[in-house]
């Protein structure tokens, strides 16, 4: 394994989640609401409170609804407002994604988001996993300097079933400005083997570090700490 520390990102849906994840050793948060819907845009009040409360970067999802990742003009108007608002509220990065009806990355929409973000980095979220061709989509994203992370499960419901796909994407990302952020389905027990198999440099945990492994339960600080110890031992 490379000597560089593997980055640990944890989903937070509340102020208490954020504090627990930070105490447990998370390197970064993804702040969302409505985790049961895959994560929607959190309130400005929550963003401001979390940014003020934790010493680690807070990435904020901007997703107006869970119907699809194909957005109409009205959706984009809302999303661009939310991108600017999240930036003003102290977001380290914006987590966002959009596709065309033919399941390609929506380049025009992404370009508008990059402009609105005005220097704030972008993580392209798991809309990526619904793209018709992951490598083609990844190449498109590499064309955007602002996109510094791609959150992906390798196109599978669980990233643990996509070891080969993630390893391939990690190879594609080598020596670029973009990091593969592997997530969805990761567990404390299997994360070390997964990282060794894929050589991924960043992992993303949701349910896997929550009480009883339930998405709507609070973050379990001790589980986060166990993941951190396992990653540091690689």
pLDDT tens across 90-128, in order? Answer: 999 999 999 999 999 999 999 999 999 999 999 999 999
Helix axes 15-24, 44-53, angle to 10 degrees: 30
pLDDT of residue 85: 98
pLDDT of residue 4: 84
Mean pLDDT value of segment 140-154 = 98
Q: Is the pLDDT of residue 56 over 50?
A: yes
Mean pLDDT value of segment 158-180 = 97
d(CA 69, CA 66) in angstroms, rounded, equals: 8
Flag whether 134 is in a domain.
yes
pLDDT of residue 11: 98
Flag whether 86 is in a domain.
yes
Q: Is the pLDDT of residue 1 over 60?
A: no
d(CA 30, CA 119) in angstroms, rounded, equals: 18
CATH number at residue 52: 3.20.20.380
Flag whether 225 is in a domain.
yes
Instruction: Enumerate helices (H) and strands (E) in the chain, giving the number of each.
Output: 8, 8
Q: To the nearest whole percent, how much of the chain has pLDDT over 90?
A: 98
Q: Are strands 28-31 and 58-61 parallel, antiparallel or unpaired?
A: parallel
Flag whether 2 is in a domain.
no
Mean pLDDT of the chain: 97
Which residues are CB-contacts of 219 (< 8 A; sequence separation ≥ 6)?
Answer: 10, 12, 16, 17, 20, 21, 24, 209, 210, 211
Flag whether 205 is in a domain.
yes
Q: What is the pLDDT of residues 121-131, one digit of tens each?
A: 999 999 999 99
pLDDT of residue 100: 98
Mean pLDDT value of segment 51-70 = 98
Q: How many domains does the chain have?
A: 1
Ramachandran quadrant class, 185 (left: phi over 0; alpha: psi -120 to 50; beta: rest): left
Q: Is the pLDDT of residue 3 over 60?
A: no
99-130 CB burial, b ≥16 within 10 A, e <16 = bbeeeebbeebbebbbebbeebbbbbbbbbbe
Domain containing 41: what range?
A: 7-232
Flag whether 179 is in a domain.
yes
Structure tokens given for 232: 């540091």
Structure tokens given for 233: 């031992």
Q: To the nearest whole percent, how much of the chain has pLDDT over 70?
A: 99
């Amino acid at each position: 394994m490379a000597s560089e520390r593997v980055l640990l990102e944890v989903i937070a849906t509340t102020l208490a989640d954020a504090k627990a994840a930070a105490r447990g050793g998370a390197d970064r948060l993804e702040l969302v609401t409505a985790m049961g819907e895959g994560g929607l845009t959190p309130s400005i009040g929550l963003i401001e409170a979390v940014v003020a409360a934790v010493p680690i970067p807070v990435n904020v999802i901007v997703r107006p609804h869970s119907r699809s990742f194909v957005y109409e003009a009205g959706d984009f108007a809302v999303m661009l407002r939310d991108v600017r608002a999240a930036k003003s509220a102290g977001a380290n990065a914006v987590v966002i994604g959009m596709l065309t009806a033919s399941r390609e990355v929506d380049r025009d929409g992404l370009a508008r988001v990059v402009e609105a973000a005005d220097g704030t980095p972008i993580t392209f979220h798991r809309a990526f996993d619904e793209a018709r061709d992951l490598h083609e989509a990844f190449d498109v994203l590499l064309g955007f300097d602002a996109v510094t992370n791609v959150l992906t499960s390798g196109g599978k419901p669980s990233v643990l079933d996509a070891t080969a796909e993630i390893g391939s994407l990690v190879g594609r990302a080598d020596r670029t400005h973009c990091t593969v952020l592997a997530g969805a389905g990761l567990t404390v027990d299997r994360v070390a083997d997964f990282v060794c198999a894929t050589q991924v440099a960043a992992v993303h945990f949701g349910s896997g570090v929550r009480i009883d492994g339930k998405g709507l339960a609070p973050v379990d600080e001790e589980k986060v700490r166990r993941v951190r110890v396992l990653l540091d031992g690689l």
